[in-house]
Amino acid sequence: MTNIAIRASHLSKCYHIYNTPHDRLKQFVAPRLQRMIGLQPKQYFHEFWALNDVSFEIKKGETVGIIGRNGSGKSTLLQLLCGTLTPTHGQVEIHGRVAALLELGSGFNPEFTGRENVYMNAAVLGLSHQEVEERFDDIAAFADIGEFIEHPVKTYSSGMFVRLAFAVNILSKPDIMIVDEALAVGDMNFQAKCMTALTRIQDNGATVLFVSHDVGAVKSLCSQGIYLEHGNVKTTGKASEVATQYIKTMREEMNAEHQKFIRVASEFESKNTKTEEISLPSLEKSNDILKRSDAFDNRVAAFRYGSGGVKITYVELLNMDDEPIQFVEFNQEVKIRIYVESSSEQNVSINFNILDAKKIMLTGCGFLQAGHELLATTIGGEYLIEYILRLPFQEENYALRTQISSPVIQGETAVFLDVIENAVVFQVARWEKARIWSGVHLFPTVHLKKLN
């Protein structure tokens, strides 16, 4: 028995794009005639490769997230894996019964009632009539669409479509569950229910293939990740690392677009407006000196990116006696120090985030959240930023991300000048008083009263 659930080997999918319907007709007729009279056949279309030489393996029991921008080939890949599309080149191997939720209403007959579609879809998934009878009440309860289960599905909203389709698929107990972004149309409660259900079939050993733009969901739900870009596999690996690479790429592109806009806007302003002097708040003077370290730069080189102009030279985690630490007691008060130098004049915020072992962000802070004004940097300026906080975290390994951002729209979008993942890695010890089962403990107060 193989341990592989899904294997894609050199998978490619090409579409023929015609400029007009007439070109489609010409392509059907003209090349044959041209061959008959000895001419080189002419091509009346251009090729679009939705996927190009994609290869990967997914082991049984793994949960794999597929991420990428719109048009990167994610949905095409899922359709090839499910067999609803035929590859132009390459092949797919599937070991196990597949349940797929690819798009709204897929596999539903709009004239049938919800009940009739449940029986039809379950039969397609390989369930017997008796098995559907036994599970129907559970399916109806999970979908939670009430009396609409007896109405034709053509009367359903998009959310009701997804509820019923997901209920049938998840309760068919598949070996392989493939979910596209159809869940995005569900309401908050249903999405939470779906995530719980996916976690349960994971625990039962099913393989899950999950497509989403929600990077947080990919990090928390998936063990492995595949990043698609323009129909090619850009990177594969641990879900947290693949998601970080995706975020980095998106931020770099956002930076580039903003810089292009700034150049155009500044040229317009220089011709049509007069700049005014702005009075800026004075900063507290410090006797500290800017810290640098070649060892630090070399260690974080692979984890940093940004558009530049203001740079982080050193980051350290300290106890309240200013001693560097990597092992933190539960709820210990610590200092995060970030040393910065500037080669430009910009209004920036120096921020930090703390991420757990799965690279899920637990907390963080920037100048806006701390009620502090933006820092107006000067050419040659050197700065020290210090955050003081407690770490009431579950015992685990954590990573500190530091970043310098310049707001484009306050509180909404920003340019990232320097971002360092894993600037400091540290460990939090177990709380001696009690085991912490949640990620963060907030020390709630309890009031207990006897009522009779």
What average pLDDT does range 65-76 have in this prediction? 90
Please count the structural domains in the chain.
1
Give tens-digit pLDDT for 266-293: 554 555 544 444 444 567 777 789 999 9
Q: How many Å apart are CA 216 and CA 247, to the nearest integer? A: 11
Kindly state whether residue 264 falls inside one of the protein's structural domains: no
Give tens-digit pLDDT for 249-271: 988 888 887 777 665 545 545 55
**E strand spans, 294-439:** 304-305, 310-318, 327-328, 332-342, 347-355, 361-365, 375-376, 382-391, 396-409, 413-428
Give tens-digit pLDDT for 107-140: 788 899 999 999 998 888 888 889 989 999 999 9
Q: How many Å apart are CA 351 and CA 431, to the nearest integer? A: 28
CATH number at residue 303: 2.70.50.60
Kindly state whether residue 381 falls inside one of the protein's structural domains: yes
CB 55 within 8 A of CB 10: yes
pLDDT at 278: 41
Kindly state whether residue 286 falls inside one of the protein's structural domains: no
Sign, CA torsion 318/323/324/328: negative
> Could you identify the residue written with the tokens 């806009």?
261
Rg (CA), the chain: 28
Residue 323: which domain range? Answer: 293-437
**Is the predicted pLDDT of residue 309 greater than 60, yes or no?**
yes
Kindly state whether residue 238 falls inside one of the protein's structural domains: no
Kindly state whether residue 225 falls inside one of the protein's structural domains: no
The strand order across the sheet containing 207-211 reads 98-101, 176-179, 207-211, 63-67, 224-229, 232-238
Which of the four pLDDT bands, split at 50, 70 and 90, describes residue 184? low
CA 322 to chain centre: 37
Give tens-digit pLDDT for 404-424: 999 887 777 889 999 999 999
**Is the predicted pLDDT of residue 160 greater than 90, yes or no?**
no
Q: In the predicted model, what is the mean pLDDT of the chain?
A: 87
Q: How many Å apart are CA 41 and CA 45, to the nearest integer? A: 12
Kindly state whether residue 258 falls inside one of the protein's structural domains: no
pLDDT at 266: 52
Give tens-digit pLDDT for 332-376: 999 999 999 999 999 999 999 999 988 889 999 999 999 999 999
Tokens of 266: 């500044």
Tokens of 105: 């209403």
Kindly state whether residue 402 falls inside one of the protein's structural domains: yes
Q: How many Å apart are CA 373 and CA 350, to the nearest integer? A: 11
Among residues 150, 205, 208, 140, the alpha carbon closest in space to that of 176 is found at 208
**Is the predicted pLDDT of residue 185 greater than 70, yes or no?**
no
pLDDT at 191: 76
Alpha-carbon distances, residue 444 vs 108, 222, 354, 447, 449 (angstroms): 48, 31, 22, 10, 16
Least confident of 11-20, 26-35, 435-444: 26-35
Kindly state whether residue 138 falls inside one of the protein's structural domains: no
The residues, any chain, with a CB within 8 Å of residue 61's CB and separated by 6 or more, are: 5, 202, 205, 206, 207
Give tens-digit pLDDT for 235-247: 999 999 999 999 9
Q: How many Å apart are CA 426 and CA 325, to the nearest integer? A: 8
pLDDT at 121: 86
Q: How many Å apart are CA 92 and CA 86, to the nearest integer? A: 10
